[in-house]
Amino acid sequence: MLRQIWQHTIRLFHRVFGFAKQPPPQVEPEPRTNLAPLSDSEFEHYFLQLLDGVNKGWEQVKVGRFFAALSDRATEEQWIAWLWRFRRNLLASEVPNAELGRRLVRLGELNYGQISEIALDIGTELLARLPESDRIGVAEPTTAAPPPSPETTPPAGEEPAVTPSPDLEDFAPNLDAESTPLPLAESVSEFTPVAPHSESDNAPPIAAPIAPGETAAEGEDADSWYDRAVERMEAGDYNEAISALDRAIALNPNHHRAWINRGNASIELGKLEAAVSAYDRALAIEPQAHLAWLHRGDALYDLERIEEALASWDQALDINSNDAETWYNKGLAFGVKLGQWEEALACWEKSLEINPKDAQSWFHHGVALAALERLEEALVSWNNATEIKPDFRDAWINQGVVLQKMGRYAEAIEANNRAIGLFSG
């Protein structure tokens, strides 16, 4: 989703200025030091330390510091992939674990992006297994546990988009300069769902309910088919995932999480209209299904239905105005698609108010300022981006372009040399 925006933004930036940057002299790249990635046992060790900190009162800022301190050994997508494995192994065990469930719920309630979503899902399931007598003193989650999005688990051979952590203070988020735009945080407001596209050839079929007299096979239920679908999505087998989701829906037509993931799988297969229809069905069942609003906006964006995408994302912001990722994506829609750079700039400024250590937001903030001919301010934004992420190649490129335009050739050469060194590395 939103896969082509990054390079489109770079090309658009050059068209704004009407000239191509001359290639600077090549320099030798600086040697890089790579640390060993975390093993599964190390992931678990550090994650339990994180849960202990959350149990002692850590807020979002300290959680951000925790992940930033380990960013040289694990990216956020690697943390998310490990959490999927942790969830599968943990929920396969019959042993109750009330304290772990409580701590996972506390992490989930911090609203720390996709990691919190998965933690809340695991914790809620663990607590639901407890007998009533053991639930005394266990607070109910403040919101229903959202399903972990299968898009947070990288399919084979693909790098997923990463949701940056909020408010990392002095720590830089581990972002890839050529990664896809950030996925949007989920939210919803009092919005009447769009009627499903039931007459469209692309609309997902309504799974047939269990026929009168027919009974599900022993051990067969909607949730088991749903779990099987999630496993197939993790493996990148989206057609099989849709088949499993259809069976889950047949057993429980009101399984809104199955509809959401049917939409996700449809997007992966390029069936965008079918995805929108699936999200609409989920919203008709559960209007508070914020993942449906989130990915519905993504699909509409890819369909070039920009105004509808913006309206879908606005529902998230009506509920959670501190959703930095949604502000970021709104900026992309306004700037890249609509050429409304003032509106785009306002969106990225909101994103940066919430998460001032997001290098990608600083980069696009600079693009908007440059498009508005506010060149000195654009340089400040790109400088902020490279301070956070020194190997942010495209930010160095843009600095060179603008410095050259301004006649500051020595500085332009220095910026270009930094960019060329990163190309070589």
pLDDT at 402: 92
Give percent of the chain above pLDDT 90.
34
Name the 3-class secondary structure at 103. helix
State the virtual CA torsion across 302, 306, 309, 314 in degrees, nearest 10. 150
Joined together, the tokens standing for residue 96 give 């109750």
pLDDT at 35: 61
Joined together, the tokens standing for residue 292 give 């449906």
Residues contacting residue 262 through CB under 8 Å, at least 6 positions apart: 204, 242, 245, 246, 249, 278
Q: What pTM value is reported for the model?
A: 0.50
Sign of the Cα torsion 317, 198, 265, 272 reads negative
pLDDT at 145: 41
pLDDT at 15: 41
Other C-beta atoms lying within 10 Å of the C-beta of residue 198: 12
Residues contacting residue 204 through CB under 8 Å, at least 6 positions apart: 262, 266, 274, 277, 278, 281
pLDDT at 126: 84
Q: What is d(CA 382, CA 9) in angstroms, rounded to the nearest whole number?
A: 14
Kindly report the CATH number that applies to the domain delimited by 186-319.
Answer: 1.25.40.10
Name the 3-class secondary structure at 68. helix
CATH fold for the domain made of 1-35+321-425: 1.25.40
**28-29-31 Cα angle (round to 5):** 125
Local confidence pLDDT in tens for the 425 residues of the chain: 553 344 444 444 444 443 333 333 333 334 444 567 888 878 888 888 889 888 888 888 888 888 888 888 889 889 999 999 888 888 777 767 788 888 999 999 988 888 999 999 888 888 888 776 555 444 444 444 444 444 444 444 433 333 333 332 222 222 233 332 322 222 222 222 222 233 333 444 444 444 434 444 555 789 999 999 999 999 999 999 999 999 999 999 999 999 999 999 999 999 999 999 999 999 899 887 777 888 888 899 899 999 999 999 888 787 778 888 888 989 999 998 999 999 999 999 999 999 999 999 999 999 999 999 999 999 999 999 999 999 898 999 999 999 988 999 899 888 888 888 876 54
Closest CA to 150 of 183, 180, 124, 102: 183
pLDDT at 202: 47
Contact 45, 79 (CB under 8 A): no
Joined together, the tokens standing for residue 195 give 């009627």
Range(s) within the chain of domains with CATH label 1.25.40.10 = 1-35+321-425, 186-319
pLDDT at 135: 52
Other C-beta atoms lying within 10 Å of the C-beta of residue 373: 10
Supply the Cα-derived Rg of the chain in whole angstroms: 23
Joined together, the tokens standing for residue 169 give 């203070």
pLDDT digits (tens, 9 = 90+) for 76-135: 889 999 999 888 888 777 767 788 888 999 999 988 888 999 999 888 888 888 776 555
pLDDT at 100: 87
